[in-house]
Every structure is written in structure tokens, then in C-alpha cells.
A and B are shown apart, each in its own frame.
Chain A
């Protein structure tokens, strides 16, 4: 086997992509957020859905700008 190489440091873009992904999980999986929306259950899903789509666009742009792909 070849000798191990040094683990590459995480780039700024990779950290941003990861942070956006984590934020999506927090928004959609943090129970108190769904408890406080009251009569706005439908709006909660519509708004978080749109945020999710925008997040993916930003993740893609940041990732592409880093030459990660």
C-alpha cells in the first residue's frame, strides 16, 4: 500500500456548504419551531421548502466557485 498522505484541510467553501446543510436540518428537525407556528402549519412547510431550494442553489454556487466539483 502507498504511504498515507496528509489529510487536506477543509476549505472555506466546504465549511459554508456544511453549515448551510446543518442549518436546513436544524430548521426542519428542531421540534419547538413546528410547535410555535400555530395556525401557520402550511406556511411553515412552504417557506422552509423555498429556503431549502435556495440553500441548494447557494451550496452549488459556493462549491463550484471552490473548484470542488
Chain B
């Protein structure tokens, strides 16, 4: 009976979602497919950002970190706030350039800014390489959902296959509808995951606090942050927050959300609307995880804290908890696949064929191939801990942040050029990969700095040095000046 409630809840949620998606219209051309025709207002933009920004594993690995380590687990709230502040600053240049030059992807924007196809292709390839392991992990992250909601009826392996199957089938609509379908489904998924989710979190937190699991019972060390003399090192927390904030806008799926908004004002309003949701949801979830750390079983399996806590409410509450994770995961995996598919079609296939992609079929084929590939890898590496997929994902996070100097200095500083961007990205990515292999957690001699942040120092130094030592010629400087000046003048530039 319980399994009917659990899996029945998932089916009801999927039916609601599919009804909404079936009413969504398709795309007439590639630009529409990749950017939803730059048509969404602040409400949809805010929820699309939140649903893409927070992966489903926020309820699993992130909550688990707070349940096992305490206050440091809140670091994602801090970097989320900084990312929203950056979203506010990025709004004008990204939207204006996107609209005027029909930009469809992050790599497309970098290609325009630096006037360079190699920069565009390198950015697209780094984005795809770094994102793919996360798509696979996202597909596998539903294992706990289908295991708990089966109430013991299916094994972990079968639950993993069900989760992967649901996400692969769900992508049919991503392939067919592109960005428009994603933004609309993000709204439904976001409401379920983060609004219903917050209500559920507050209810469970109240139960914990009134049933002997208050913060007085939590280990005192949970309330301190790592500093000088700590095991992690004094710069470890700084590194986590910096990587999250700067790396966030380097992910192609996050960045492309800016292109779906209908104006600069909409993006800025979306930033203002997203911030309280991120803070209230994030802080509530971490507080819940810390309070629940004293529940039996949580110390042994902190990643299951969300499900163990929801179990106290019976099958219905556990089902709602599972659906929250499913909704959050769908938003993130779908966004990733759509953005990567569009980027490969637009910024790798297009330049290779020497044409600008206009047919949406290129995007659809690209997203479909990526979905099947990710599904196959997810099935082949179901035993995720022994497959090395987690290690690969950690490397990729330190790698993706190496796009940050090229993205931010490119958008806010006129002097940066293609030579600087290309050399900084390649050297930064290589340095991050090597350091991550040598120091998977943190680098002790650098005060606990992570590999990505250490490589970022090399990256920025190379970018600035090359920008000054190998300046652009007069024509390119004038082109870049016009590009920046176009943000303050009526439309007059052509691509």
C-alpha cells in the first residue's frame, strides 16, 4: 500500500507537469529553441534561475554536509547570494548584447566579445566537458527517491534504473520544446521543490525542535566555522564560497537563463525575487539538517537526512519530500542537457560547418544524443562511488570556474582580448585538473585553498599579463569600444 502512495505521488506530479508541457508551443527557429525567444518576465525568470541553480542534490549531498559538519554547510547560501548580486550586474550587458546580436549561448557571447572563434569553441568544449559528469550524477541522484518511496519494495540498483529512466523519458519534452518548455516546467518544478519544500522543511523543523532534537542537543563544534588551526585550513571556506559564486555563471545552463528574459529590468527584478527564496529555503534546509543530526541513523548516512527526517511524518509526508527532490533534479538535469545541446550545435557544429545554425533540428538532435549518452553512462556507472564519477564531477567543478576571468573580465573590462582569454582558460583548466588530482579536498600549504581557486590566481595573472603584453590592434580595440558603447547608445552595430 505504501509503495502505491510513494510511486503514485510521483505519477501525479509527472502528469501535472506533462499536461503543462503539452500546452507549450514549439520553436520556429534555432534562436527561439535556445533562448525561448527572450520572452519571459521576472517571475518566470526568477523561478527558472532558482530551479536551475539549485540541483536536486541540494536535499541530499548539501543537506548531508550540514548534517555531518554543521554551519559550514550553509556555504551554498552565501555563494548563492553573491551569484544573484552578479546576476544583477550581468543583466544589462548580457541581455543587450544577446538581443542585439542574437546570441544564444554563453560561448556565443564570448565569441562576440573577443571576436574569436577559438575562444568560442574552447569555452563551449570546457563547458560541455565540465557539465557532462553532473548530468550523469543528476540522473543517478534519484536513486534515494525511488528507494525510499518504494518502502523497501525495490533494491537500490532497481531504484537507480527507475530514476534514470524517468529522467531520460522526461527529456523528450526538453528535446521537443527547447528553452521555452524548460522555463515553463521550471516554474512548476520550482514551486513544488522550493515553495512546497520550504513549507515542508519548516513543518519538519518544528517537529524536531518540539520532540527533543533542538539545537541544544547538537554538537558544539557544529556552530563554528573553519579558521586558523582548523583541519580544513583558514582559506577553505573562502574557497568554497568563491568557487560557487564565480563558477556559477560559468555553467552554460545557468548563464543561458539570462537570454530567456524579455528585458534587463526583468533580469534585475528576477534577481531581487530569487534572493529571499534562496536565503529562506537554504537556511531552513541547513537548520533542519543540523537539528536532525541527532536523529537515529543520520550520523551513519548523513546524505539521507532529508528522507530520514521526512519519514517521521509517515508515507504521505515522505512522498511529498521525494517529489520535492524529483522536481529539483528535473529542473537542473533538463537545463543542463538543453544548454549543452544548444551550445554544441551552435558553437561547435556551426563553426565546424562554417555556418550560423538556424534550424532548430540541430539543437533537438544534439540534446537527444546527449540525453541518450548521459543515460547510457548513468546506467553503466550505477555504482556511483566506485565508478569515479564523483571524483570526475569534483574535478569538473574546479575546471569550470576557470572560465570566470574570461567571462567576467570580458564583460566588464574592455582591455581583455582573445589571446588573453584563450591562454588563461587553457592554462587555468590544466592547472586546476592537475592540482585537483594531487589535492582532492584542499591544498594544505596554501591554507586550505581549493585547487580551483589556486588555479584561478594563475588564470587571472595570465589573463591580465597577456592583455597588457599583447594588446589588440587598433581595429579590434575600436570594435570592442563600440561593443561596450552600444550599451549606452541606440542600436547601430551589426555583428
Interface residues of B, Cβ cutoff 8 Å to A: 70-72, 74-75, 77-79, 81-82, 84-86, 88-89, 92, 220, 222-225, 227-228, 234-235, 237-238, 241-242, 245, 263-265, 268-269, 271-272, 275-276, 279, 282-283, 286-287, 290, 478-479, 481-482, 484-485, 488-489, 492-493
- Do residues B77 and A45 form an inter-chain contact, with CB atoms below 8 A? yes
- Do residues A45 and B85 form an inter-chain contact, with CB atoms below 8 A? no
- Do residues B89 and A56 form an inter-chain contact, with CB atoms below 8 A? no
Bound complex: CA A24 to CA B323 (Å): 34
A-side interface mostly: helix
Interface residues of A in 10-54 (CB under 8 A from B): 17-18, 21, 24-25, 28-29, 31, 34-42, 44-46, 48-50, 52-53
Interface residues of A, Cβ cutoff 8 Å to B: 1-2, 4-5, 7-8, 17-18, 21, 24-25, 28-29, 31, 34-42, 44-46, 48-50, 52-53, 55-57, 59-60, 63-64, 68-69
Residues in B neighbouring A1, C-beta threshold 8 A? 478-479, 482
- Do residues A2 and B482 form an inter-chain contact, with CB atoms below 8 A? yes
Bound complex: CA A31 to CA B227 (Å): 8
Given A4-B481, A69-B265, residue A52 in contact with residue B81 (CB < 8 A): yes
- Do residues A41 and B72 form an inter-chain contact, with CB atoms below 8 A? yes
Bound complex: CA A53 to CA B264 (Å): 19
Per a CB cutoff under 8 Å, which of B82, B84, B220, B488 touches A25? B82
- Do residues B237 and A34 form an inter-chain contact, with CB atoms below 8 A? yes
Per a CB cutoff under 8 Å, which of A21, A35, A60 touches B272? A60
- The 23 sampled A-B contact pairs (Cβ below 8 Å) are A2-B492, A4-B478, A4-B485, A5-B488, A5-B489, A7-B481, A21-B85, A24-B85, A28-B245, A29-B82, A29-B241, A31-B227, A34-B227, A37-B225, A38-B224, A40-B223, A41-B74, A44-B71, A49-B81, A50-B279, A53-B81, A63-B268, A69-B265
- Do residues B70 and A35 form an inter-chain contact, with CB atoms below 8 A? no
Across the interface, name the chain B residue whose C-beta is closest to A7: B485
Among B228, B263, B271, B485, residue most surrounded by chain A Cβ atoms (within 10 Å): B485
Residues in B neighbouring A63, C-beta threshold 8 A? 268
B165 to chain A, nearest CB (A): 37
B115 to chain A, nearest CB (A): 13
Residues in B neighbouring A28, C-beta threshold 8 A? 78-79, 81-82, 241, 245
